[in-house]
Structure 1
Amino acid sequence: MPRTKIKQGIQIALSLALAIWIFWLLYRDIEFTNLVAQVRSSKWIWILLSLVVSLFGYWLRGWRWALLMNFDEGKEVSASRSYHAVMVGYVVNLLIPRAGEVARCGVLSRTNGISIGRLLGTVIVERSIDLLFLIGIILLAFLVENQLFISLAGEMVDLNSLGAKLLNNLPIFLAGVAVFVLLVYYLGRKFRNSGLIQKAQSFGRQVVFGIKSISDLKNPWGFWGSSILIWVIYFFTMYTVSLAIQSTANLTPGEVLLVMVMGTIGMVAPVQGGIGTFHALVAYILIQFGVSESDGKIFAAIIHGTQVILVLIAGFISWLIMVRIPAWIKPDKV
């Protein structure tokens, strides 16, 4: 077996072990009967609505991805086929972190004849835009719940004491910042030809180029509008589930927004499907809102569990549809 495959296998196993360990650490004190009771007492009309809204969000992701594919190679990609590829990617991500992006590109490359390299370029553009929107959502959550942010920061660090220490040692602090900046500059100059630095620079150029290229799309407003709507859908998915559970039904929209932000950050972690990290961050922020620890953990388990089931079912159906489509064959030139 090649060394790279062994290394990848070890990384996958470690990420899965980490996810299972975090999940076990969180839920070892939760009685299964309590979880079942909470699930039964939940208002499932709201949970089902969240799944419908979420499924529309997945379709919208596929439609947005199709907008990026103005290529002169292969066959034009329909929104439905792009959606099915996205769902296949989500299923693969549940098994192997980050592999879903390559998997969905591979699916479309087979059925539409577009090179995987060009498809991966569109994925980079997508992820870049999502990152920008995530930063914007975090800033929005801070503006809406700024007192809570300050309170949480105060719990972790004594802000008054820290401020006093900085003022008393301001010259030393400024000197330290200057030394750090110079060190970063020196290391950047010294190792600018290293593979890691070049990859980072290449990625940055791709991101900037991708964002600029959006203006050249046939439907740039559709791309930006769908990008905004995707995050609105994320919010309503979380909000409808909060209405389904008695302990979270009284959360304000601003509080749900902050829960969504924490959950999204948890999903970004390099573990299968955000298992463990999503639950930990969502439960933590709910506890800060006065929700009991057990109810916070159960809420995280319900919303994550229902979404995983949705992805598995919809993704399996999409996989069946895509494998039945014949591979694209390049037509002979006349």
Structure 2
Amino acid sequence: MFIGLLGFWLRAWRWKNLIATNETITVKTIPIFWSLMFGNLVNLIFPRAGEVARCGAVRKTYPIKFGKIFGTVVLERTIDMLFMLFIIALAFLLEGSIFIEIFKNLVSLDAIKGFIVEYFYWALLFFLMLLLMGVFAYQKFKKTAWLGKLRQFARQFVSGLETLIHMENKVGFWVATFSIWIIYFLMMYWMALSIPATHTLSATSVLMVLVMGSIGMIAPVQGGIGTFHAMVAFILLYYGVSEEQGKIFAMLVHTSQIMIVLILGGISFLYLFRKKKVTLNV
């Protein structure tokens, strides 16, 4: 559980580096950590709402524009997605035969081709209609106050994305990002070694399990509950682990993370409720 806590702390420290970029106030890791844990707690109730909730939690502590904070969240998630694609590519190189077998069992190329042919033109037409409606709406409402606020939010959002370019500790940011994924792998690997049904799994096999579990966590459900377990149990079948044992393994891995979120998320609520907002020195 300690290494899982370290992973959350690294996430908070990494996010703090983005938020603090170009700010005149000092942004500390501890309030950002509690904001992150609060967002994770909200995600257990309302999928993906935690990403907005943690932005609001940061705003409760620091007078930073919401659009910028949200931009850093999108940037952070995009980087995590790119790293996950890298992990998938690495797993494919190391466990290519399993990848190909899964692909053959789950994916029908003919079905994909038929779907693209049938719906491509409809999708293109829908996109063009949205584009035309957007242009029309802009021309009609470009002088209204709410559109001005939308443009202001967009500028703040872009400034959040640009923090990756302007932040000071770029090396630390990328080391933290890489370390987070190392921690995910070690948590799963050590858990596999501690269970008789999975203790014979190789490191590359656990990497495949990590890939499938990560894909399960992407699903828009509360904390990946159900989808994570199903994906992990599914891939473990290919390594000779029964479905029942696979689900037990997934439950142990997932529960250890959920317990951290529930405990620290609850504490974060109390922390943020009592925390006073930092004021700008003029």
Q: 2:211 aligns with which of 251, 261, 265?
A: 261
Q: Which residue of 1 aligns with 2:89?
A: 139
Counterpart residue type for residue 130 of structure 1: D
Moved over 2 A (4+): 70-76, 153-159, 176-195, 205-213, 317-324, 327-331
Inter-CA distance 126–194: structure 2 relative to 1 (3 Å threshold): farther
Q: 2:132 aligns with which of 168, 173, 193?
A: 193
Contact 2:38 2:266 in 1 (8 A): yes
Q: 2: distance between equivalents of 1:179 and 1:287?
A: 35
TM-superposed CA distance for 1:319, in Å, is: 2.6
Counterpart residue type for residue 117 of structure 1: G
2:254 is equivalent to residue 304 of structure 1: yes
Q: 2:64 aligns with which of 105, 114, 117?
A: 114
Q: How many residues align?
A: 265
Of 311-320 and 283-292, deviating more is 311-320
Contact 1:239 1:253 in 2 (8 A): yes
TM-superposed CA distance for 1:317, in Å, is: 2.2
Counterpart residue type for residue 236 of structure 2: L
Q: Which residue of 2 aligns with 1:76?
A: 26
Q: Which residue of 1 aligns with 2:76?
A: 126
TM-superposed CA distance for 1:95, in Å, is: 1.0
Counterpart residue type for residue 139 of structure 1: A
Counterpart residue type for residue 167 of structure 2: L
Inter-CA distance 103–158: structure 2 relative to 1 (3 Å threshold): closer
Q: Which residue of 1 aligns with 2:39?
A: 89
- Show structure 1 runs of 5+ residues with no match: 1-50, 163-172
Contact 2:17 2:173 in 1 (8 A): yes
RMSD: 3.2
Inter-CA distance 293–183: structure 2 relative to 1 (3 Å threshold): closer
- For residues 144-183 of structure 1, the C-alpha deviation after alignment (integer angstroms, 9 at most, x for no partner) is 1101111222334688xx7xxxxxxxxxx8xx97897776
TM-superposed CA distance for 1:192, in Å, is: 2.2
Query: TM-score, structure 2 length as denominator?
Result: 0.82
2:225 is equivalent to residue 275 of structure 1: yes
Contact 1:67 1:217 in 2 (8 A): yes
Q: Which residue of 2 aligns with 1:104?
A: 54
Higher Rg of the two aligned structures? 1
Percent of matched pairs sharing the same residue? 43
Find the residue that maps to 2:201 and give its secondary structure: coil
Q: Which residue of 1 aligns with 2:145?
A: none
TM-superposed CA distance for 1:83, in Å, is: 1.1
Counterpart residue type for residue 206 of structure 2: V
Query: TM-score, structure 1 length as denominator?
Result: 0.70
- Show structure 2 runs of 5+ residues with no match: 138-150
Of 320-329 and 307-316, deviating more is 320-329
Q: Which residue of 2 aligns with 1:148?
A: 98
